[in-house]
Amino acid sequence: MIMDGNGRWAKNRFLPRVAGHARGVRRVRDVVKFCLARQTRFLTLFAFSTENWNRPENEVSYLMGLFAATLEGEINKLWENGVRLRVIGDRTRFTPRLQALIASAEARTAGADRLILTVAANYGGQWDIQQAFRAWMKNQWPSLATGGTLPEPSEIDLKPYLSMAYAPDPDLVIRTGGEQRISNFLMWQSVYAELYFTETLWPDFDTAAMELAFAWFAGRERRFGQIGQQQRATAC
Phi, then psi, of 49 in degrees rounded to 5: -90, 165
Q: Is 4 in the site for ligand FPP (CB under 6 A)?
A: yes
**Which residue type is seen at 1?**
M
Stretch that binds ligand FPP, among 5-13, 87-95, 186-194, 225-233 (CB under 6 A): 5-13
Q: Is 25 in the site for ligand FPP (CB under 6 A)?
A: yes
Active site residue 4: yes
Comparing CB distances to ligand FPP, the nearer of 95 and 139 is 95
Site size toward ligand FPP (CB under 6 A) is 20
What angle (nearest 5°) sits at the alpha carbon of residue 35, between those of residues 3 and 193? Answer: 60
Least distance in angstroms from the C-beta of 222 to ligand FPP: 28
Bridge partners (DSSP) listed for residue 43: 117
Least distance in angstroms from the C-beta of 199 to ligand FPP: 12
Single out the residue of 70, 122, 163, 189 in contact with ligand FPP (rule: CB under 6 A).
Answer: 70
* Cα–Cα distance measured from residue 127 to residue 124, given in angstroms and rounded to the nearest whole number: 5
Q: Is 116 in the site for ligand FPP (CB under 6 A)?
A: no
Phi, then psi, of 87 in degrees rounded to 5: -120, 130
The catalytically annotated residue of 6, 12, 30, 52 is 52
Single out the residue of 47, 85, 120, 209 in contact with ligand FPP (rule: CB under 6 A).
Answer: 47
Comparing CB distances to ligand FPP, the nearer of 8 and 231 is 8
SS3 sequence of 152-218: CHHHCCCHHHCCCCCCCCCCEEEECCCCCCCCCCCCCCCCCCEEEECCCCHHHCCHHHHHHHHHHHH
Comparing CB distances to ligand FPP, the nearer of 94 and 202 is 202
Single out the residue of 21, 84, 86, 175 in contact with ligand FPP (rule: CB under 6 A).
Answer: 21
Residues 111-141 as b/e (b if ≥16 CB within 10 A, e otherwise) read: ebeebbbbbbbbbbbebbbebbeeebeeeee
Comparing CB distances to ligand FPP, the nearer of 7 and 161 is 7
* Cα–Cα distance measured from residue 12 to residue 25, given in angstroms and rounded to the nearest whole number: 18
Active site residue 52: yes
For the annotated catalytic residues, the residue numbers are 4, 52
